[in-house]
Structure 1
């Protein structure tokens, strides 16, 4: 039986995860007049490169190629593959977004706007999807129809794993899941500024830095998740990444861009606020 507190936890967690990027968007629009176009491109790139192109590759390597299907059953290789895939697709997407779709919008605030769009749409869609799916499953469990309704659609071992997870996890777990989106969004904003700086300065090595940073965090999180380590240890790693990202946003990143103010941003004018 799924308790009421667990359901409250999943709803509050989702609200937290969705509210944070919206609050950032409103704050930066009011105080910095960040660009709607940069926000939109950030969201579009995440959808196109992460949810379409990257997932298409996953279908092949995780379902159809039997060699990689077997190889990626090993936690280390699975985490390495997942981290590199996310890093390459999302950071190359960022580079393309700034390089070709935001030619006139390459100021510090445009990097912030892009990151809010990229990390924000990820947070909203993940939270909405998680809540919708889990609430449906929880309703079935409480009604005693979970196995009868899903038995013919999902393998028995996977079905049992889903059910046990929903029964074991409580209020704090789901609230923590929503809190996780806060450092994740900050991390996306930081990476957006790293990539944008590389585009502005014409130094592609910054794209490599962003790929490696993204891949490293995703690798550690995925590996520890596969090894089923304590969830609070797992979230502490994400929190640390978020704190470091915030420090970067407030100090080094601002310094990088302020030092370039007198230089032409790779042949284009500074970002506008439209």
Structure 2
């Protein structure tokens, strides 16, 4: 790097952030699979072993990460009138657009302005900050909406004006470490980045009206080459729960953001040029060719993907909607157990969700942006699995113990479990079928006639394209997963029935532990190994 960038006197240490424009930490979706588990007997040692394993995992999780330092900014390294531009590339490496950030002094402190241009679609805004880089207010315009955020001493007010002129307001509670999401990427330049540095802050996300605690870590030093040149950099990892992103910041003043990578979308920002007061500019002019925004979702469809998807749907829906009923019919004919037990199992599933869903919301597993959903992946998976295990196996035990006193055999348990797992498969199947009907309708209808135009129409087309580009075998995997889930519920119903008939609580503990462990595996595996390998594990376990 040029000598005009003089090294900083104080050591600089790392931080992480939720990138503006490209990452929304409030959206976090969990996919929990069920699968088979066979238990022949249970002893008190099972609960003791489960307790030891849980305590060990909690200990390892607590010791895995270094402690975070309080958020504290150094004096702003940018100058009045500074401008930096970035190439924005998509997952395939194609140039998708450009981004520009600029800084101006104001009587209140600093104004950061930015503009993101993706194939002609503009996203722009400003963040006004105090001299200590506390956010004071911001505005943002995207997709025809305008967001205005005001940071007060006792509340944060977010006002949104929709495309039709409707105005809505939301209030959030401020924290001492609040950072506006639209400024977080750039204000990290003022953090004392250095090897091993860790800090935290609360990300305020006006577009969703939510907050997200962010853990910022410098993972090491690297040499980064971008269109503007080659620079020594600190690599920063930005964590919002199990979601991570990467940033590379210059090690020498003015500590430029050199590169940013959004792991979720695959988008990459690379510094193309920079200019500041009293320093020669760096970088090169922006390229004249930018890939246009996608218009037709059919343009890049893999060959024969749509016909294969149709065939896969013809397999998926019978597995999810018909197989559960056929299983109940077969159990009735084979063992003489009536449909009443099947219905009781279905009602037990619904009753368990009356507790399970509010519990997950309270924990932050639903809705995202807070609570357990922002924990590291391992403890998040454990809590999600334990929540499902306690609620569903507890409901199963209560139903059999107090409401189905005449059902005291393994045959009745088979039908009861088939009703529990079968009703779940039918519910998911109906939801998937409704979604398919909506997709087919949107594909054939004129979006403009429905009042969907502009950026909203582009988003719908992109969603349709993504749907039809999805691997053709995914619907089959979804159907098979429900078959595995039914097998699991049947096995757990037999185990819980044994807890009642033998009056041994250890069997119930084993059922809860099995349910928690397998659901935790699914949460962990789907984020680390991918859906395909997760379902392979489900299938192997079921066999």
Q: TM-score of the superposition, structure 2-length normalised?
A: 0.40
What do you get for the CA RMSD once the two structures are aligned? 3.0
1:240 and 2:543 equivalent? Answer: no
Task: Report if aligned partners of 1:54, 1:86 keep a CA contact under 8 Å in 2.
Answer: yes
Question: Could you tell me how far apart the structure 1 residues matched to 2:333 and 2:312 are?
Answer: 31
- What's 1:170 paired with? 471
- What's 2:397 paired with? 95
Greater percentage in helix: 1
Question: Could you tell me how far apart the structure 1 residues matched to 2:420 and 2:453 are?
Answer: 34
Cα drift, residue 197 of structure 1: 0.1
Question: Could you tell me how far apart the structure 2 residues matched to 1:150 and 1:69 are?
Answer: 37
SS in structure 2 at match of 1:171:
coil
Task: Report if aligned partners of 1:116, 1:189 keep a CA contact under 8 Å in 2.
Answer: yes
Greater percentage in strand: 2
User: Closer, same or farther in 2 for the Cα pair 1:182/1:93, shift >3 Å?
Assistant: same
Task: Report if aligned partners of 1:17, 1:180 keep a CA contact under 8 Å in 2.
Answer: no
Q: How many residues align?
A: 236
- What's 1:200 paired with? 501
1:42 and 2:345 equivalent? Answer: yes
1:58 and 2:325 equivalent? Answer: no
- Unaligned runs of 5+ residues in structure 2 are 1-297
Question: Could you tell me how far apart the structure 2 residues matched to 1:135 and 1:56 are?
Answer: 29
- What's 1:222 paired with? 523
Cα drift, residue 17 of structure 1: 2.2
Question: Could you tell me how far apart the structure 1 residues matched to 2:410 and 2:319 are?
Answer: 26
Alignment of 1:118-137 (within 5 A): 118-137=420-439
- What's 1:85 paired with? 387
User: Closer, same or farther in 2 for the Cα pair 1:124/1:152, shift >3 Å?
Assistant: farther
Cα drift, residue 179 of structure 1: 1.4
Cα drift, residue 12 of structure 1: 2.4
Question: Could you tell me how far apart the structure 1 residues matched to 2:512 and 2:477 are?
Answer: 26
- Unaligned runs of 5+ residues in structure 1 are 244-274
Cα drift, residue 44 of structure 1: 0.5
1:23 and 2:323 equivalent? Answer: no
Question: Could you tell me how far apart the structure 2 residues matched to 1:198 and 1:241 are?
Answer: 23
Question: Could you tell me how far apart the structure 1 residues matched to 2:461 and 2:505 are?
Answer: 47
Q: 1:211 aligns with which of 508, 512, 527?
A: 512
Task: Report if aligned partners of 2:320, 2:483 keep a CA contact under 8 Å in 1.
Answer: yes
- What's 2:531 paired with? 231
Cα drift, residue 22 of structure 1: 1.6
Instruction: Give deviations 1:63-113, integer Å, cap 9, x for gaps.
Output: 6897515634x4333322221111110000010011001111111111001
Higher Cα radius of gyration = 2
SS in structure 1 at match of 2:473:
helix
